[in-house]
């Protein structure tokens, strides 16, 4: 089975060709990602209108490059998968309409993929992980712990009640004048820092359940910046603050994941795999902290390669393969969804709002 995947939910325009080879290394025939980082950097974050226009400008050429790199024609594909949400609705519309057009002309199945499910299933693309497994989904827009039971079958254990982790990274970087995107810059800057210098809070640590909160941690960083004085902060001050922030984040993630592992094992006693997915999963410091937890708790930790943690079309194509094999397709009347929870039956988390 060969699927064309299209991703345009935020600030990366991407196209990929993926097949269902039994050999992992042979699955991805092409994977093209065009970042809009330069377009959004002057604004310190993603501007939806700018993102949508950039997607519209580049998507056709990226699809053709992906097809050419894979050495296949539209006649040879078995379906077209595109991110149908959640995401910035303008960008999602661009990807969906492109996919619908190709599917309609070529008379191929069309699959609208939940962007979060694309992240959730990436470990099956790169590591052949079996169901069920525990998922820590950490990105710019989401921070959740879920049990992945099967295609389209998710049980949410916890979510952020305010900021997503990637959002907190970006906002802290902006407050320190480090630029955009914040996550990679904070990680790099923290390498020269002392993670014990600043006593930052660990929101939710020690509490029951698996919910997250990062707003208070972000506020504590701002107060430290004000105390030091924005104009008086040395490079060492900034490095120490970045390292202290990452240390606090790691402590919170370990605590929340421990609770989630206990809940997961109470439902699936033989369950032994934690998958980390989403853009923040590319952070090596977080990976090292979770490796400590893995050694303490004796479970399998799976983190996809960094290029498949951030937004890409290979994960969308693979999710399309999984959906198509399960007999799931969408009509061309599918409406793009700015919100699309993996577990629509999860109880509302107080304060979480649309990020639930």
pLDDT in tens, 66-109: 999 999 999 999 999 999 999 999 999 999 999 999 999 999 99
Residue 225 CB: number of other CB atoms within 10 A? Answer: 18
Q: What token pair was written down for 349?
A: 């988390």
Please identify every stretch of the chain with a pLDDT value under 50, giving residue numbers as ranges: none
What is the C-alpha separation between 179 and 321, in angstroms, rounded? 38
| Cα dist from 123 to 133, 275, 281, 299, 301, whole Å | 10, 7, 12, 15, 10
- pTM (two decimals): 0.94
- Under 8 Å between Cβ of 122 and 137: no
Coil, strand, or helix at residue 7? strand
- Under 8 Å between Cβ of 241 and 120: no
What is the C-alpha separation between 138 and 149, in angstroms, rounded? 19
Residue pLDDT, tens place only, 345-355: 998 887 665 55
Concatenated DSSP letters of 223-284: HHHHHH-GGG--HHHHHHHHHHHHHHHHHHHHHHHHHHHHHHHHH-TT--EEEEESGGGG-H
Coil, strand, or helix at residue 315? helix
Domains of the chain: 2-123+308-355 (3.30.420.40), 132-306 (3.30.420.40)
Q: How many CA atoms lie within 13 A of 298 on its CB side?
A: 2
Coil, strand, or helix at residue 135? strand
pLDDT at 231: 83
Q: What does the CA dihedral 10, 143, 249, 231 come to, rounded to 10 degrees?
A: 40
DSSP state of 98: H
Coil, strand, or helix at residue 211? coil
- Under 8 Å between Cβ of 109 and 103: yes
pLDDT at 264: 97
pLDDT at 42: 85
């Amino acid at each position: 089975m060969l699927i064309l995947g299209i991703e345009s939910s935020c600030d990366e325009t991407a196209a990929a060709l993926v097949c269902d080879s039994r050999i992992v290394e042979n699955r991805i025939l092409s994977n093209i990602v065009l970042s809009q980082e330069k377009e959004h950097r002057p604004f310190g974050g993603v501007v939806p209108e700018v993102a949508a226009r950039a997607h519209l400008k580049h998507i056709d050429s990226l699809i053709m490059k992906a097809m050419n790199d894979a050495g296949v024609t539209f006649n040879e594909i078995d379906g077209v998968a595109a991110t149908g949400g959640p995401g910035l609705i303008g960008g999602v519309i661009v990807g969906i309409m492109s996919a619908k057009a190709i599917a309609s002309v070529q008379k191929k199945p069309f699959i609208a993929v939940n962007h979060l499910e694309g992240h959730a299933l990436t470990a099956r693309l790169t590591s052949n992980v079996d169901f069920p497994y525990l998922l820590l989904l950490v990105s710019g827009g989401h921070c959740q712990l879920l049990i992945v039971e099967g295609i389209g079958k998710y049980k949410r254990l916890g979510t952020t009640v305010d900021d997503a982790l990637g959002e907190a990274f970006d906002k802290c970087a902006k407050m320190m004048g480090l630029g955009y995107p914040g996550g990679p810059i904070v990680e790099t800057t923290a390498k020269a820092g002392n993670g014990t210098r600043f006593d930052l809070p660990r929101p939710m640590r020690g509490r029951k359940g698996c919910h997250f909160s990062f707003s208070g941690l972000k506020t504590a960083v701002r107060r430290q910046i004000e105390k030091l004085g924005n104009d008086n902060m040395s490079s060492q001050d900034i490095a120490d603050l970045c390292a202290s922030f990452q240390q606090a984040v790691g402590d919170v993630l370990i605590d929340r994941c421990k609770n989630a592992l206990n809940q997961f094992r109470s439902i699936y006693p033989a369950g032994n795999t934690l998958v980390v997915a989403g853009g923040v999963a590319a952070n090596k410091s977080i990976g090292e902290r979770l490796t400590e937890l893995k050694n303490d708790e004796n479970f399998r930790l799976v983190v996809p390669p960094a290029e498949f943690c951030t937004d890409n079309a290979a994960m969308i194509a693979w999710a399309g393969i999984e959906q198509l094999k399960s007999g799931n397709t969408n009509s061309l009347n599918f409406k793009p969804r700015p919100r699309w929870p993996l577990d629509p039956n999860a109880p509302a988390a107080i304060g979480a709002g649309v990020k639930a």
